[in-house]
C-alpha cells in the first residue's frame, strides 16, 4: 500500500480547524466548540486526501506572544513532522493581523501549504476571499467545513502538493493502549516519558489535555499505539461544557483500545474516581494495568494507606498488573511494558476446547451450583468462541443471571487456572434446546 503522508491543519484559534478535521476524517473525533482554544494537543487520524492515504493532524490554535503552556510549541512540532499544511482562516472575519502573524511563523518551515478560506457558505466570506491573496499562499480554496462545500477542490489541491506515493507493505495490526485516569495525575508526562519526546502537552493545570493523542511506540520487538486521553471526572465534578465534551471523548477512547493503562496519583491514593474509571474499562471488556505515579513523592504512612485501599481495585479487576513509578524521574517506567505484554497475552489467550471443558468441569466438581427448585445446574459442554477479551459459551440445562454468584465463581476459577489477572472474561450460557425449539442464550 502507499506510504501515508502527514498533513497538519493549522491556523489561529476558532477558525474551524477541528470542524475541517472531522469533515475529512468522516467522524466526530476532534472536539468542536465555539470557545477559542478548545483543541490543545495534537489529534491524529488516518484518512484520505485526493485518494492518497494520509495521517491527518488537528492542532491547537496558534496565538503569537505569551505561550505559558507551550501550546504553540505543540503546533510547531506537528508542522515539523508534516508533508503538507492546511492553513485555515475565517472567511467571515476577513484577513486580520493574527492571520498574518500565524503565516509569518509558519512560512519559515518551507512546507507546501493550501490556504483554506473557511465558512464559504456565508456572503461575507465570498466577499472577503480576495483579501487573503495578500498572504501569497497558493493554492487558495474557499469552502465550508461545516457543510462540506468546496471539499472536492481541497482534495484536488492537496493531492497535487503531497509527496510522490511510495509503495510499502501493509502495516501490521498493533495493540492500542489507552492512558486513562483522573485529571492531573501525570498521564501526559508519562506518555512523554514513554516516547522520549514532548509528544503531549504537560501542565500543572488540571484538565490541560482535552483531545485524544495517538503515538506509535516500539519497545524491543513489540509495537504499541498509545492513546493519551483527557482526564475523566465524575459528571458532577466536570467544570464547563468544553471539559464535559472532553470527558465524553476520553471515555470513547477506551473503545479504541485493547488495554487501559490506569494512572493513579500515589499521593491521592485510590479514589472512588479511580475505581469508576477501572470499572468503565472493565465493563467495556478492556484489560487493565494500573500505574501508581509519583510513587517517589509519598511517605510511608501514605504508602500504607494506599496498600490498605488496593484490595478494592484488586477485587474489581481481579488482581491487575500494577507498577509503582515516577513519570518525572523515570523510576519504574521500565517495568510498564513487560506488565503490558503479560496482560495482552492473557487478553488474547486462546484455549483448546478440551482445555476449556477440563477447567469448567473441574470447577463444577469442586463446587456445585445451588439447585433451583430442587433442580441442579448441569454443565453439558463449554468452548471458547472469541479472544480479546476471552469469551466462552457454556451449554447447560438452565441459565445463570449476571448477578448470580456462581457465575462469578466460574470466571474466577478460570482466571486462576489460566492466569488471566486484570482481564475481563465473557461467559455466555446457552440453554439446552427443548425439542422443536431453538436454544435460548443467556449473556
pLDDT in tens, 259-294: 999 999 999 999 888 888 888 889 889 999 999 999
* Total number of domains in the chain: 3
In this structure, are 151 and 18 located in the same domain?
yes
- pLDDT for the residue 209: 56
* 94 part of a folded domain: yes
* 131 part of a folded domain: yes
Pull the grid cell for residue 398: 438452565
**What's the CATH number where 359 sits?**
3.30.300.20
Residue 415 makes CB contacts below 8 A (sequence gap 6+) with 318, 421, 423, 425
Question: Over 90: is that where the pLDDT of 357 sits?
Answer: yes
Q: Measure the CA–CA gap between 218 and 33, rounded to whole angstroms.
A: 35
- pLDDT for the residue 436: 42
pTM of the model: 0.67
Q: Which of 347, 363, 398 is the last residue of a domain?
A: 347
Top mean-pLDDT range of 86-100, 218-232, 242-256 = 86-100
* 172 part of a folded domain: no
In this structure, are 196 and 313 located in the same domain?
yes
**What's the CATH number where 321 sits?**
3.40.50.300
71 or 215, higher pLDDT: 215
In this structure, are 328 and 362 located in the same domain?
no
- pLDDT for the residue 442: 47
Q: Measure the CA–CA gap between 61 and 37, rounded to whole angstroms.
A: 6
- pLDDT for the residue 172: 56
In this structure, are 436 and 323 located in the same domain?
no
In this structure, are 111 and 79 located in the same domain?
yes
Task: pLDDT band for 371, please (50, 70, 90 cuts).
Answer: confident
- pLDDT for the residue 279: 87
Per-residue pLDDT of 192-242, as tens digits, reads: 899 886 666 666 655 555 555 678 888 988 999 998 776 555 555 555 544
In this structure, are 104 and 118 located in the same domain?
yes
In this structure, are 11 and 90 located in the same domain?
yes
* 298 part of a folded domain: yes
Domain span holding position 430: 353-442
Q: Measure the CA–CA gap between 233 and 250, rounded to whole angstroms.
A: 10
* 170 part of a folded domain: no
Mean pLDDT over all residues of the chain?
Answer: 85
140 or 164, higher pLDDT: 140
In this structure, are 136 and 266 located in the same domain?
no
* 174 part of a folded domain: no
Q: Which of 347, 369, 385 is the last residue of a domain?
A: 347
Section 161-180 average pLDDT: 76
Task: Compute how many other C-beta atoms are within 10 angstroms of the C-beta atom of residue 385.
Answer: 11
Q: Which of 347, 374, 405 is the last residue of a domain?
A: 347
Amino acid at each position: 500500500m502507499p506510504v501515508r503522508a502527514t498533513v497538519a491543519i493549522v491556523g489561529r484559534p476558532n477558525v474551524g480547524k477541528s470542524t475541517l478535521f472531522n469533515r475529512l476524517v468522516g467522524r466526530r473525533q476532534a472536539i468542536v466548540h465555539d470557545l477559542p482554544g478548545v483543541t490543545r494537543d495534537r489529534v491524529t487520524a488516518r484518512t484520505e486526501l485526493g485518494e492518497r492515504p494520509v495521517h491527518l493532524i488537528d492542532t491547537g490554535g496558534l496565538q503569537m506572544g505569551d505561550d505559558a503552556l507551550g501550546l504553540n510549541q505543540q503546533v510547531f512540532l506537528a508542522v515539523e513532522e508534516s508533508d503538507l499544511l492546511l492553513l485555515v482562516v475565517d472567511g467571515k472575519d476577513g484577513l486580520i493581523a493574527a492571520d498574518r502573524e500565524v503565516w509569518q511563523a509558519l512560512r519559515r518551515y518551507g512546507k507546501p501549504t493550501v490556504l483554506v478560506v473557511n465558512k464559504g457558505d456565508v456572503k461575507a466570506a465570498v466577499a472577503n476571499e480576495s483579501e487573503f491573496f495578500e498572504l501569497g499562499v497558493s493554492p487558495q480554496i474557499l469552502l465550508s467545513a461545516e457543510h462540506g462545500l468546496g471539499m472536492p477542490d481541497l482534495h484536488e489541491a492537496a493531492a497535487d502538493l503531497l509527496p510522490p506515493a511510495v509503495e510499502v507493505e501493509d502495516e501490521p495490526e498493533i495493540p492500542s493502549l489507552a492512558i486513562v485516569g483522573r485529571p492531573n495525575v501525570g498521564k501526559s508526562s508519562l506518555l512523554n516519558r514513554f516516547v522520549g519526546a514532548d509528544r503531549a502537552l504537560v501542565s500543572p493545570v488540571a484538565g490541560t489535555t482535552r483531545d485524544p493523542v495517538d503515538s506509535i511506540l516500539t519497545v524491543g520487538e513489540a509495537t504499541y499505539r498509545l492513546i493519551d486521553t483527557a482526564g475523566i471526572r465524575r459528571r458532577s465534578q466536570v467544570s464547563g461544557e468544553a471539559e464535559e465534551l472532553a470527558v465524553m471523548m476520553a471515555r470513547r477512547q477506551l473503545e479504541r483500545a485493547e488495554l487501559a493503562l490506569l494512572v493513579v496519583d500515589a499521593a491521592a491514593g485510590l479514589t472512588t474516581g479511580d475505581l469508576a474509571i477501572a470499572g468503565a474499562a472493565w465493563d467495556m471488556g478492556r484489560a487493565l494495568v494500573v500505574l501508581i505515579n509519583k510513587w517517589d513523592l509519598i511517605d510511608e504512612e501514605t504508602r500504607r494507606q494506599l496498600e490498605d485501599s488496593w484490595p478494592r481495585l484488586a477485587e474489581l479487576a481481579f488482581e491487575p498488573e500494577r507498577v509503582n513509578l515516577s513519570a518525572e524521574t523515570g523510576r519504574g517506567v521500565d517495568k510498564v511494558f513487560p506488565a503490558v505484554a503479560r496482560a495482552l497475552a492473557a487478553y488474547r489467550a486462546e484455549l483448546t476446547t478440551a482445555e476449556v471443558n477440563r477447567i469448567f468441569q473441574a470447577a463444577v466438581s469442586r463446587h456445585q451450583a445451588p439447585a433451583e427448585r430442587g433442580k441442579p445446574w448441569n454443565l453439558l459442554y463449554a468452548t471458547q468462541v472469541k479472544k480479546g477479551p476471552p469469551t466462552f459459551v457454556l451449554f447447560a440445562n438452565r441459565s445463570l443471571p449476571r448477578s448470580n454468584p456462581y457465575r462469578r465463581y466460574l470466571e474466577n476459577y478460570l482466571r486462576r487456572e489460566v492466569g488471566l489477572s486484570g482481564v475481563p472474561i465473557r461467559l455466555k450460557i446457552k440453554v439446552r434446546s427443548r425439542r422443536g425449539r431453538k436454544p435460548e442464550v443467556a449473556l
